[in-house]
């Protein structure tokens, strides 16, 4: 048998075992007989040590010139490029999504690191005229302090990069707790940060459960900002904990995203977009398309096209380049998806295909699920309202654009939306009226680029945005600076 490698926490520039000496196994969701790695089951003592290290490193790091901070993060990007393939393969092993997608996950981190490293030489503030003579007015960005980054399992390098790179370039120090299903990818990312020359204590990593270290990290008095990506239920708990301490927090949570297919759409193009949005990452994306809203004039034709292609999807081990969909991440997630399929049938949805575990012998050791398609779904059904986070797509009929927009917006979430149409007037009306943070025209609901803000409305978040220059708003505080060189006491707003 292959010896299982044990990975350590990273605290104050050193790789350390947990004070409790306990570990947990990270298994391959495509074949649970394979243990990808063994990780530290951290204790509160480990967590306190990590936060103390971040707090201790903060004064020197915030005084490090921002261009120098950016140069270190640029080197992180260079290292990610060199190790892209090995990082992608390890990610597929621990998370399950197909290798083409894990390469994209790493590429997103590369893009984020290159792009945001440049903010070390920008970090833009404002200069404005003063209302008084011989007085200079400007605003500058200051780091927030110690950041707690709590990241999910579905994008195990991309999403950590969204948090770590902007936080660090802005002069903050960080403690990151990766999802227990995907700690190897974050370990590798932190390792590259160390290799790039990040000083001890600036970035720290502790692995373990949310109950053991996640909640104590959120509640730690020396943590100044919590950056969380995960479910809306957990996000509301994070918000309540932070609010009690008057602590800053950024939440990126769930979605119930929809693609609208109008009667003038290029149906072949729309078909590709819907398949990619619904079954990419096995539906385990906050931006996944779980509702397709089809104009009644093309409903029958498009449903036939979609059913044929859904049934033909190749499901299997993500390391096989020919496969189009991998397993779900764990058994709990698979059971959740199965339960929603049962709910869909009970509610009156017509199950066209899928709805159950894949039972063939080649799937028996993994968390595989059938690509699933429901028809005759109304917008009030639970399968059309609640986030399933699996390969389940509901088809909903609409009569016109206004009706489609009404259905899209009839959701407690507001992350991503898309519309397929050849009518530019319809496209612009949709852009204005779809209540989501992201809208695509003639493209799927997934595929956001790092140079624009990422996030949503309503129950998807708390108003912050990740990526782009918007990320600076999370990880910096504004400071207004006035320089009076008149040599006299001047009083703004007071008549002389």
286 is catalytic: yes
Q: Which residue has the tokens 């999370």?
A: 474
CA distance 100 to 92: 9
What does the angle CA 265 – CA 266 – CA 272 come to, to the nearest 5 degrees?
115
Kindly report each contact of residues 215-221 with a partner whose C-beta sits within 8 Å and lies 24 or more positions away, as own/partner: 215/241, 216/44, 216/47, 217/47, 217/51, 217/148, 217/150, 217/175, 217/177, 218/148, 218/150, 218/242, 219/245, 220/47, 220/48, 220/51, 220/148, 221/245
Q: CA–CA separation, 290 vs 274, rounded Å?
A: 9
- Token pair belonging to 294: 């089809």
Q: Which entry of 170, 286, 289, 341 is annotated as an active-site residue?
A: 286
Q: Are 416 and 257 in contact (CB under 8 A)?
A: yes
Rounded distance, CA 86 to CA 79, Å?
A: 12
CB 137 within 8 A of CB 127: yes
Contacts with 40 (C-beta within 8 Å, 6 or more apart), sequence order: 7, 8, 9, 17, 18, 22, 23, 46, 206, 207, 208
Closest CA to 14 of 212, 143, 191, 279: 191
Residues paired with residue 192 on neighbouring β-strands, in sequence order: none
Quote the CA–CA distance of 351 and 368 in Å, as a whole number. 18
Burial label, 326 (beta-carbon count in 10 A; 0-12, 13-18, 19+):
buried
- Whether the CB-CB separation of 349 and 376 falls below 8 Å is answered with yes
Residues making up the chain, counted from first to last = 496
Catalytic residue among 49, 119, 252, 473: 252
Judge contact between 373 and 327, C-beta under 8 A: no
Q: Which residues have a catalytic role annotated?
A: 252, 286
């Amino acid at each position: 048998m292959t010896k299982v490698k044990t990975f350590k926490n990273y605290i104050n520039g050193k790789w350390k075992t947990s004070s409790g000496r306990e570990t947990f196994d990270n298994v391959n969701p495509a074949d649970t007989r394979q243990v990808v790695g063994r990780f530290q089951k951290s204790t509160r003592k480990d967590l306190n040590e990590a936060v103390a290290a971040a707090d201790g490193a903060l004064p020197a790091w915030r005084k490090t010139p921002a261009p120098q901070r950016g140069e270190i993060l640029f080197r992180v990007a260079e290292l990610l490029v060199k190790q892209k393939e090995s990082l992608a393969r390890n990610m597929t092993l621990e998370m399950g999504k197909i290798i083409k997608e894990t390469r994209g996950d790493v590429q997103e981190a590369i893009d984020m690191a290159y792009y945001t490293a440049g903010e070390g030489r920008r970090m833009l503030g404002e200069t404005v005229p003063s209302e008084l003579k011989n007085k200079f007015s400007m605003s500058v960005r200051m780091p927030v302090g110690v950041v707690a980054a709590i990241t999910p399992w579905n994008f195990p390098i991309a999403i950590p990069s969204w948090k770590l790179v902007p936080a660090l370039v802005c002069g903050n120090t960080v403690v990151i707790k990766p999802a227990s299903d995907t700690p190897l990818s974050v370990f590798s990312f932190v390792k590259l940060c160390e290799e790039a020359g990040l000083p001890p204590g600036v970035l720290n990593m502790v692995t373990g459960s949310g109950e053991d270290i996640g909640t104590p990290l959120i509640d730690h008095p020396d943590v100044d900002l919590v950056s969380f990506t995960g479910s809306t239920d957990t996000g509301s708990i994070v918000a309540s904990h932070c609010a009690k301490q008057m602590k800053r927090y950024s939440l990126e949570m769930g979605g119930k995203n929809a693609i609208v297919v109008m009667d003038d759409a290029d149906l072949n193009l729309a078909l590709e977009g819907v398949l990619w949005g619904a079954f990419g990452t096995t539906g385990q994306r906050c931006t996944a398309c779980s509702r397709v809203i089809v104009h009644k004039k093309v409903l029958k034709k498009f449903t036939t096209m979609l059913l044929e292609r859904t049934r033909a999807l190749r499901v299997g081990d993500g390391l096989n380049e020919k496969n189009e969909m991998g397993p779900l991440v764990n058994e709990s997630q698979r059971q959740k998806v199965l339960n929603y399929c049962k709910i869909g049938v009970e509610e009156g949805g017509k199950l066209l295909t899928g709805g159950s575990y894949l039972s063939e012998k080649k799937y028996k050791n993994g968390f595989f699920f059938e690509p699933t398609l429901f028809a005759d779904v109304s917008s009030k059904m639970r399968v059309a309202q609640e986030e399933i986070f699996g390969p389940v797509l509901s088809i909903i009929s609409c009569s016109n654009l206004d009706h489609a927009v009404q259905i899209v917006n009839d959701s407690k979430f507001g992350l991503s939306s898309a519309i397929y149409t050849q009518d530019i007037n319809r496209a612009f009306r949709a852009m204005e009226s779809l209540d989501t943070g992201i809208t695509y025209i003639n493209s799927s609901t997934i595929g956001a680029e790092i140079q624009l803000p990422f996030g949503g409305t309503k129950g998807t978040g708390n108003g912050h945005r990740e990526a782009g220059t918007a990320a600076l708003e999370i990880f910096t505080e504004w400071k207004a600076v006035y320089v009076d060189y008149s040599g006299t006491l001047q009083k703004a707003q007071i008549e002389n």
